[in-house]
Structure 1
Amino acid sequence: MTPQEMEARIVRYGDLRPCKTAFIDAHTPGSNQKENFTIIGGGVSESPDQHVHIRDTPGFNIGAAGQPPKCRNSLHSHRTAEVFFVLKGRWRFFWGRWGTAGEVVLEEGDIFNIPTGIFRGFENIGTDYGMIMAILGGDDAGGGVIWAPQVIEDARDHGLVLGRNGKLYDTKQGQHLPDGVDPMPLLTDAELAAFPEPTTADVVPDFVARYWDLMALSDRQPARVIAADGVLRDRPGFEVEFLSRGSIPDTPYTTERHEVLMPMRGHWRLSWDGGATVLNPGDTMAVPPGIARSLTPSMTGEASLYRVRNTDDPAGLTRRL
């Protein structure tokens, strides 16, 4: 594969194109400064303005959320896996019907495999603009967002209406639901009762992995983070590994799986028969199957990288509480 063909499979951090109208809370005070990025696959955006960098999916989607301090993402649930790791900043994740059942604070490099079937939200509690990277289960992640009723009501008060077709309509811009399209109904009390209310102690031990623990585990080989035999045991249709300077393969390797490389720290040199490139923190690269490759940190100092591969597991319901 030529360098030009491989470069087309890289989304550079500096080239990310945000969407500020991706979700129903885009006008709601406290959430109206969010930026959503769809890197691989269409993600779960509800806006036609969302730019998709790489449309072909390897069995999962890659996205990101960027937020200034004190900005939050409203309470919602997913039908498939949602995994975040913190690229920049300090973030508080919270969950439950009203966001008060439990919470955890994640620092840079920490990863959270959020249980399916619970309402969750997050906010940047740092002092600067923050970024979290996301892995979403399945090729088609669209239509997978279920909003808490108060989120839909607050959005309507600020001019945004979500249709049953999963699309947003901005009444402030003169948009209205098309004929034959009803508004998204609110969940009933009976439906809401089916959503668990786990405590922090229920969630953190089995669903959160800390960066410095993964650095220690990857001293001699890649740390298995999300897998049937991983630190966070799960089978969501993809596997996540963590690599540091001490876990680099001695020789080129190949895999018949799709592989996505997401550097966390340091600059990583990827070489293959036909070329080489350097990946930087925040870059995302989709490496096709069957290509022999070598991966090495290109400079001294701290280096870490998340590696995601598709599996044969169905991208359906993952770990629930």
Structure 2
Amino acid sequence: MVVKTLSTEEILKRVIRKEDFVADKTAFIDARTPGSDKKENYCIIGPGVSENPNRFINLIEPHGFNIGAAAMPNGCINSLHLHQTAEVFIVAKGTWRFIWGNEGTDGEAILTEGDVISLPTHIFRGFKNIGSDDGFLFSILGEDDPKKVTWGPQVLRDAKDYGLVLLEDGRLIDTAQGVTIPEEAKVIEPMIQEELAKIRKVTQEEMNARVFCFKDRFPYKEAFLDCLSEGGKKLTYGIIGPGISTDPNRPTLITNPHSFSLELLEAEPGNGLSSCSQSTSQVLIVYKGEWKVSWSLEGKEDEIVLTEKDVMSVPKNLIRSIRNVGKETGFLYVVSGGDEWVPLQWTESVIEEAKKNKMELDEHGRLIRE
């Protein structure tokens, strides 16, 4: 295995503070439609599905998934649309109503802070901020290229009334600003009824099973090798896929492939994840608290503290530790690339300390207890 050595400067470029997010108010075709015209979208890692060719992307490097965000005031609506790859939302702030179905009438889910929803591919979905004006969502999209969004028929008709049309090549044309549609270009037309009839229906029960409810969370106490060691005590929650849990018996809420895993770590001050590395992409999203990420390069110790809504892309194979250094219980969402479980590579000191608590690894890196 070839490990690329990064400088501290390069690692710090992978830290994206909340104040570094750049709002895009013209990301989608419904940017002028009343009720949807107050949205702010963000491309944090990867291009996402923005239709704005001038969008700003904080970190372009492919991860196997995309990280984005949306800020919307109370009453603002994200119009009905359909995705080709996984779409997951983490509620960072506010109360949100999610709907689905061709007309948005097949069901609804009300999410509050800390909740997560994974919306099935190839169905129409929309959402509305029904809480405070500072509502904020993080989004995770599957694959490096999540492809283009398919909009509901009425969304396209409404947008055209306000001068916006979408071309098949993904370009958004603003006819209200005098931009003409190229002669050779094909405009995306609303889906016809025969096409709509082929889209499957998702029941309320099926969608309920794809919602992680933060206030009703049930922890798994010993998911990692270091969970009984000083500084490693934590609770974990498997949300999507196997995650990075050392214990293969930790349950996960949603098991179908997404191209990534998602889990939540909960730790008291002074605790977190002990020194280890990971061979796949990993992104940290701070929900609550202050989290210190520490690493060593060429014998020099470096660290950075992440706070609420900060995002960090951890380099592959970097040995690091993650600690809650705040004064309150901390919560950290962890996104890992790929659908397969990949074992963490623990440092020898962590392995030896775990043995004192009768926690060891088998030859595959899975947790065994004496």
Q: TM-score, normalised by structure 1?
A: 0.92
User: 2:213 corresponds to which residue?
Assistant: 210
Contact 2:239–2:262 (CA<8 Å) still a contact in 1? yes
Q: In the alignment, what sits opposite 2:331?
A: 304
Question: Runs of 4+ in structure 1 displaced over 3 angstroms?
Answer: 218-221, 246-250
Whether 1:237 aligns to 2:259 is: yes
- Aligned CA distance change for structure 1 residues 280 and 249 (closer, same or farther; 3 Å): closer
Gaps of 5+ in 2: 1-5, 224-235, 243-250, 341-370
Do the aligned partners of 2:90 and 2:115 also contact (CA within 8 Å) in 1? yes
Alignment of 1:93-242 (within 5 A): 93-143=98-148, 145-204=149-208, 206-214=209-217, 216-221=218-223, 222-227=236-241, 230-242=252-264
Q: Quote the offset at 1:312 in angstroms.
A: 5.2
- The 2-side partners of 1:271 and 1:212 are apart by 30
Of 294, 297, 313 in structure 2, the residue corresponding to residue 286 of structure 1 is: 313
Q: Which digits, 9 at most, give the CA deviation of each residue in 1:279-320, with x for residues without a partner?
A: 11111111111111100111121210110111156xxxxxxx
Match for 1:252: what amino acid?
Answer: S
- Helix, strand or coil at the partner of 1:190: helix
How many Å apart are 1:196 and its aligned residue?
Answer: 2.3
In the alignment, residue 190 of structure 1 is paired with which amino acid?
E
Is 1:20 the counterpart of 2:25 in the alignment?
yes
Q: Distance in 2 between matches of 1:312 and 1:219?
A: 23
The separation in 2 between residues aligned to 1:40 and 1:270, in whole angstroms, is 19
Question: 1:257 and 2:280 equivalent?
Answer: yes
Say if 2:65 and 2:143, in contact at 8 Å, map to a contact too: yes
- The answer as to whether partners of 1:219 and 1:245 remain within 8 angstroms in 2 is no
Q: Where does residue 319 of structure 1 map in the other structure?
A: none
**In structure 1, distance between residues paired with 2:273 and 2:132:** 40
CA contact (8 A) 1:42 1:142 kept: no
Partner of 1:4: 9
Aligned AA for 1:43?
G
Deviates more, 1:257-266 or 1:191-200: 191-200
Deviations 1:136-170 (A, max 9, x none): 00001232x11111100000011101111111111
Q: Is the 8 A contact 2:86 2:120 kept in 1?
A: yes
Aligned partner of 1:98: which letter? Answer: E
The size of the alignment, in residue pairs, is: 310
8 Å CA contact retained: 1:3, 1:276: no
Partner of 1:76: 81
Deviates more, 1:187-196 or 1:81-90: 187-196
8 Å Cα contact 2:85-2:143 kept in structure 1: yes
Per-residue CA distance 1:96-122 (angstroms, 9 max, x = gap):
111111001100010001111210001
Code of the residue aligned with 2:163 in structure 1: it is: G
Higher relative contact order (CA 8 A, sep 6+): 1
Q: Secondary structure of 2:9's partner?
A: helix
* Whole-angstrom distance in 2 between the partners of 1:312 and 1:199: 25
Partner SS for 2:133? coil
CA distance in 2, matches of 1:89, 1:166: 31
Letter in 1 for 2:293: L
Q: Does residue 29 of structure 1 match 2:31?
A: no
Judged with a 3 Å threshold, the aligned counterparts in structure 2 of structure 1 residues 180 and 68 are, in CA distance, closer, same or farther, namely same
Distance, in Å, in 2 between the alignment partners of 1:159 and 1:77 is 22
Distance 1:84 1:251 in 2: 28
Q: Normalization by structure 2: what TM-score?
A: 0.80
Does the CA contact (< 8 Å) of 1:78 and 1:117 recur in 2? yes
For the aligned residue pairs, the C-alpha RMSD in angstroms reads 1.6
**CA distance in 2: counterparts of 1:112 and 1:242, whole angstroms:** 13
8 Å Cα contact 1:22/1:49 also seen in 2: no
Structure 2 SS opposite 1:122: strand
What is the rounded CA distance, in whole Å, between the counterparts of 1:279 and 1:95 in structure 2? 35
Return the offset for 1:199: 3.3
Structure of greater Rg: 2
Residue 156 of structure 1: SS of its match in structure 2? helix
Percent identical: 40
Tell me, in whole angstroms, the C-alpha distance in 1 between the residues paired with 2:52 and 2:90.
24
Q: Deviations over 1:18-50 (max 9, x none)?
A: 100000100000000100100000000001231
